[in-house]
Amino acid sequence: MGDPFDGEFLTQCESVYEQQVLLLEELGKLKAKLDKKQRNVKIWRRLSSVVFITAFVSALILSVAAPAMSAPVVLTVVASGLSTPIDVVGKWCNEMWKKYENAVRRQRELVLSVETGARVNKIARKNYESKLRIRISSVLETVEFAVEREEDEVAMILAVQEI
């Protein structure tokens, strides 16, 4: 009997396997890229927070120190007026960075989910392939048994029923 895993079926199985391997490689690259992006977002969020906190504290100190040093009234008014906008812009930037960080985290979680599914599919495909090989070899053995006992009608009927 011929091997049922020759030809088109084998080509299709190999093609599916190669596609799964390529998908896993691409997902790994994408995951690494998102990891790097996530680290950079955290760094930029912290850095912008430090910049705005420093600016806010500087404006606050200037608004307190300017009157004490007998600075011009304009400087005192500008210093006290700057602290509120700096605080608002700082909070807004922090909120924007947080949203971006959450979006990157969700993308990474999605990639992990797809990667897990691809790994499960790869394992399931291997299991199906091995089960199919076992079943086909069993059917081939039954066919050979039936061919060998061609004259025995009862054996033939049992073999055909088993198939």
Please report whether residue 160 resides in a domain.
no
Please report whether residue 61 resides in a domain.
yes
Please report whether residue 107 resides in a domain.
yes
Tokens standing for residue 2? 């011929």
CA nearest to 129, candidates 5, 3, 7, 1: 5
Please report whether residue 36 resides in a domain.
yes
Domain count, the chain: 1
Lowest model confidence (mean pLDDT) among 35-39, 73-77, 102-106, 134-138: 73-77
**How many angstroms separate the CA atoms of 71 and 38, rounded?**
45
The model's pLDDT over 12-41, given as tens digits with 9 standing for 90+, comes to 878 888 998 999 999 999 999 999 999 999
Q: Are 76 and 64 in contact (CB under 8 A)?
A: no
13 lies in which domain range? 8-115
pLDDT value at residue 86: 86
Lowest model confidence (mean pLDDT) among 17-21, 57-61, 119-123, 154-158: 154-158
DSSP summary character for residue 4: T
Q: Rounded to two decimals, what is the model's pTM? A: 0.67
Please report whether residue 150 resides in a domain.
no
Please report whether residue 149 resides in a domain.
no
Please report whether residue 135 resides in a domain.
no
Mean pLDDT computed over every residue of the chain: 85
Please report whether residue 148 resides in a domain.
no
